[in-house]
Structure 1
Amino acid sequence: MAPSSAPGPHADDLHLEQLGYTSEFRREMSPWANFALGFTYLSPVVGIYTLFAIALATGGPPMIWWLLIVGLGQLLVALVFGEVVSQFPVAGGVYPWARRLWGVKWAWMTGWVYLIALFATIAGVVYGAGPYLAQLLGFEAGTTSTVTCALILLALALAINLMGTKWLAYAAIIGFTAELLGALAVGAWLLISERVQNLSVVFDTAGVADGGSYFSAFVAAALIGIFQYYGFEACGDVAEEVPDPTRQIPKAMRMTIYVGGAAAIFVCLSLLLAVKDYAAVISGEDPDPVTTILHDAFGVTGTKVVLVVVMVSFLSCALSLMAAASRLMYSYARDEMIAFSHLLRHFQTTRHVPPYAMAVAAAVPAVIVLGSVFSTKALTSIISFATLGIYLGFQMVVLAALRARLKGWRPSGPFSLGHWGMVVNVSALGYGVLAMVNMAWPRTPDVPWYDNWLVLLSAAVGVGVGGIYMVLAKPYLRSDARHGDAVPTREGVKE
């Protein structure tokens, strides 16, 4: 059912009531803060600084083109999500969307996959921040300092999130402002004073293919773009905390892609043109070109100032991720779809946030971070698994939307693609499948088979565990909350 044509707090609550829910959240997040939340989740600085060295060593300077290619693909996904959230502005994002588009079993598995991936993404972000925070605090570089700093960042993110929606909104706006201005200032300075390469390098493979086919190397470098462009869905995770969500959230999702993508390309380009020796990065002689560039450009003191801005970006990103994960668990628990639902849906009366869900959103990533001490390529493994899981969760919603369209769903929210809906939906699904195949493709034949297939095996284990629990515990039978009602002929039918 479409919301009232006159948006306002009463109309928002009435629309939510028509969807079968009464919210305990406060609508204290402005549309600007909602966009900032998505931006800080997507976080150009976090994405580029985390994977710049890996992508450059893998695919050479042309890896920057993946930021444009993936950005266009993810825009298609964002458009599909915009149609869904415009009709179903319910907290939790992909889980309630899949529930209304398809049914309870599909929704349960979608939420499970996305939740596991979110935990891994949070771990990947704080682990990627570890070396930068260690530098800032003067710790000796190494696995121990990285893990310690990652845990510190998790604790800070949890503390701020527990303060409530208003403080989350403040933190998102501060993080967005600091990250965008910092990225523009640092990038501009590098382009003006530290540029040592010509723009033509974005077409120069820098010898990464060793005389063979460059295509496989270029495709392998796609992770920098694939990891960069998610976060826009977080705008919908907090749908019950935003005024006029049916109009504002689809807009915030698109703006996250536009602004975040442009900033990411700018940051990446400024770093690429400041690298003095590509061969040293590709060979591993310079394993941390970002720090090398910052030290050369700003000196020790100046680098610390830049790192403060970088750490604000990482913290804001972790905050947004943790908020998304906690809202998903709350939405799950509100429908009795997960173990310990009575705790995960519990609300802190003074702050109007789910504290136990937030605690879990910090505790599970902490365990993943601690487990990373046993891996020699922890960052790449965590990010690859997390990204594949996120994309799988996305495409389960995109597939559900396509299935619903074929069965008669006509998006009825204020934001609609009209006749272009089917084309965009099919294109979004095709893009997502290709991206997942690329992420899971084995590329290290010289290592044991289980290491070569680590990303796919990890995803299979995650899905398998969830599937076994769903079959045995049947959590989808615990609630009579609405499902499958996007398609008129299937309204009220359980699956």
Structure 2
Amino acid sequence: MSAEPAASAPTHLDDSAHLEVLGYQENFNRSMSLWANFALGFTYLSPLVGVYSLFATALAVGGPPSIFWIFIVGGGQLLVSLVFGEVVSQYPIHGGIYPWTRRLWGRRYAWMAAWVYIWAMIVTITAVAQYGSGFLGSLFSIPSTPLTTLLLTLALLLVALILNFTGTKTMARVAQIGLAAELVGVIGVGLYLLLFQRKHPFSVFFDTMNVQGDGSYVTAFLGAALAGLFLFYGFEACGDVAEEVARPAVRIPRAMMMTIFVGGVSALFSFGGYVLAAPDLPAIVAGKDVDPIPHILDSALGPVGAKIFLVVAVTAFLSCVLSLQAAASRLLYSFARDGMVPGHSWLSRVTPRTKVPANALIVVCTVPVLLSLLVFINEAILNSITAFAVLGIYVAFQMVVLAALRQRVKGWKPAGPFSLGKAGVVVNVLALAYGVFAMYLLVQPGSTGNVFTDWIVLIGLGTVLVVGSLYLFLARPDRLSDAPAGDAIAVAAAIRTHTARRAAAAEPVEPVDAAP
């Protein structure tokens, strides 16, 4: 289910020729390697951020067995990444979900998918910067107040923006530094806790510790699903920067799957290590300790070790914000390049020297700044916007999976060098089934008794969908664009034809390369 070795695989078009078949010209520097592309996806996925954010909640709702959601969601998202891999291998162009859905279905469908996804990504940028401000404040011993949280959040957003402005190479370097920080912070610390600070037996992962009360544990376990669902997205960012990656049709599918595998292993070590090293696990499960990780680290590493971990964590959070900004700006650029949003001429500009969509970067930093001001006014909305971000991203993911399945039914056979072959339909169906199940879990209402609070995730998604639909059907942005749409079968045929002609004419055709 991956590209074959060069000795037996068919050749494929070089990057410029492939892009030309898709209707575009080279505008970016292809300076990202396989490892840099993987680092971008991994730091966006950020198991350190995900585990830290939801560790206490997962244990309070589902107890230690909630760790098994990492296996369940990891397997489901691997199926989704395989579908994405085939799509991006045929369409290695900037923007990811937006151009994929446009070429697989149509302009209106793609507009809604991108509209939901852009808002979900912008909200995610806001949430990650907010959570990271706590680590930054702790590192410099700054008292936590609403004002200091706001200022530190803005600092993370602006530093990431400045780094993104300097170009793709800087972004790739910072992402790789963030990757190293993530691996140290999650795998390194997790292993240390497992080997030297373990206070509980491994059998604790099968002990519900009575979180279900008098009810069924199945209900409690399903309620803890967010522990895994929040962890395994970000791999799609590998495809958002496709035009800045050398040999993207081969490398991006690999980078996506590497992100899932390494992210899953990292999350397991981290989550498992914290559980086994917790000095007072019953207090965490009972909800009495709502921020247990600092206590665990201080107990296991001491003050100096805990301070070193804060440096690693801040590096990981900064890299995560940078990766999110980079991915969101490329999506917005792709949207604007096709004339699908107001101000598209301004948003689609690429800086001559650094070759980055600077104006799109400004937007994906400015809107999170405004959202951070709202959080400053009402801190309670942070959890709500975070929950919306997760659901919005899953909705956008499944719009790609559904569109791919629709094309397969119509006869589409992906033409990129990465192909699932006959297994493609089965994997596609399973990925869709998993996605529907995940979204069902995400929209389950709370139990506070307050209708607005309990249904805030659906209310948020509904608001975005209604506003987007009104703009779509009143302004008709799909009519302003002549970008190709719904052409998956035709493009697959064109790619095969061009490849055959180049081979027959003995023109240089780039082999499928296994090297990074």
Aligned to 1:460: 462
Mapped contact 2:89–2:417 kept (Cα < 8 A) = yes
CA RMSD of aligned residues (A): 1.9
Report the 3-state secondary structure (helix = DSSP H, G, I; strand = E; otherwise coil) of the residue aligned with 1:211.
coil
Is 1:101–1:486's contact at 8 Å kept on the other side of the alignment? Answer: yes
2:262 pairs with 1:262: no
Deviations 1:74-96 (A, max 9, x none): 00000000000000101000000
| Segment of structure 1 superposing worse, 456-465 or 379-388 | 379-388
| Counterpart-to-counterpart distance in 2, 1:242 and 1:466 | 31
Give the Cα separation in 1 of the matches to 2:492 and 2:95.
22
Distance in 2 of aligned mates of 1:489 and 1:356: 31
Find out whether 1:448 has 2:462 as its counterpart.
Answer: no
Structure 1 residue 462, shift from structure 2 partner:
0.7
- Of residues 159, 163, 166 in structure 2, which corresponds to 1:156? 159
1:469 alignment counterpart? 471
CA distance in 2, matches of 1:243, 1:425: 27
Query: How is 1:31-430 mapped onto 2 (pairs within 5 angstroms)?
Result: 31-375=34-378, 377-430=380-433
Deviations 1:422-448 (A, max 9, x none): 11111111110110110111121x331
Shift of 1:374: 4.7
TM-score by length of 2: 0.91
Count of residue pairs the alignment pairs up: 487
Distance 2:228 2:328 in 1: 22
1:161: Cα distance to partner?
Answer: 0.7
The separation in 1 between residues aligned to 2:256 and 2:310, in whole angstroms, is 28
Taking a change above 3 Å as real, the CA distance of residues 414 and 384 of structure 1, as seen in their structure-2 partners, is: same
Q: Give the Cα separation in 2 of the matches to 1:393 and 1:163.
A: 30
TM-superposition CA deviations, 1:288-324 (whole Å, max 9, x none): 1101111112222221110110111111111111111
TM-score (norm 1): 0.95
Preserved CA contact (<8 Å) 2:63 2:208: yes
Tell me, in whole angstroms, the C-alpha distance in 1 between the residues paired with 2:20 and 2:218.
Answer: 52
Question: Does the Cα contact within 8 Å between 1:100 and 1:482 map onto a contact in 2?
Answer: yes
SS of 2:313 mapped into structure 1: helix
Q: Matches of 2:317 and 2:418 in 1, distance apart?
A: 32
8 Å CA contact 2:64, 2:204 repeated in 1:
yes
Shift >6 Å, 4+ stretches:
489-492
How big is the shift at 1:170? 0.7
The whole-number CA distance in structure 1 between the counterparts of 2:192 and 2:363 is: 41
Percentage identity across paired residues of the two chains: 51
Give distance in 2, aligned partners of 1:169 and 1:434: 35
Q: Which residue does 2:481 correspond to in 1?
A: 479
CA distance in structure 2 between the aligned counterparts of 1:275 and 1:411, rounded to whole angstroms: 48
CA distance in 2, matches of 1:31, 1:490: 24
Q: Which has the larger displacement, 189-198 or 221-230?
A: 189-198
Comparing 299-308 and 28-37, the one that deviates more? 299-308
Name the CA shift for 1:141/1:266 in 2 (closer, same or farther; >3 Å): same
Does the CA-based 8 Å contact 1:408-1:488 persist in structure 2?
Answer: no
Mark the runs of 5 or more structure 2 residues left unpaired by the alignment: 1-8, 495-516
Distance 1:292 1:458 in 2: 34
CA apart distance, 1:376: 5.4
The aligned counterpart of 1:18 is: 21
Moved more, 265-274 or 206-215: 206-215
Q: Is the 8 A contact 2:414 2:492 kept in 1?
A: no
One-letter amino acid of the structure 1 residue matched with residue 209 of structure 2? A
Cα distance in 2 for residues equivalent to 1:491 and 1:462: 37
Letter in 2 for 1:474: R
Task: Name the aligned partner's letter for residue 485 of structure 1.
Answer: D
Separation in 2, partners of 1:300, 1:224:
28
Letter in structure 2 aligned against 1:440: V
Q: AA paired with 1:315?
A: L
Is the contact between residue 483 and residue 491 of structure 1 (CA under 8 Å) also seen in structure 2?
no
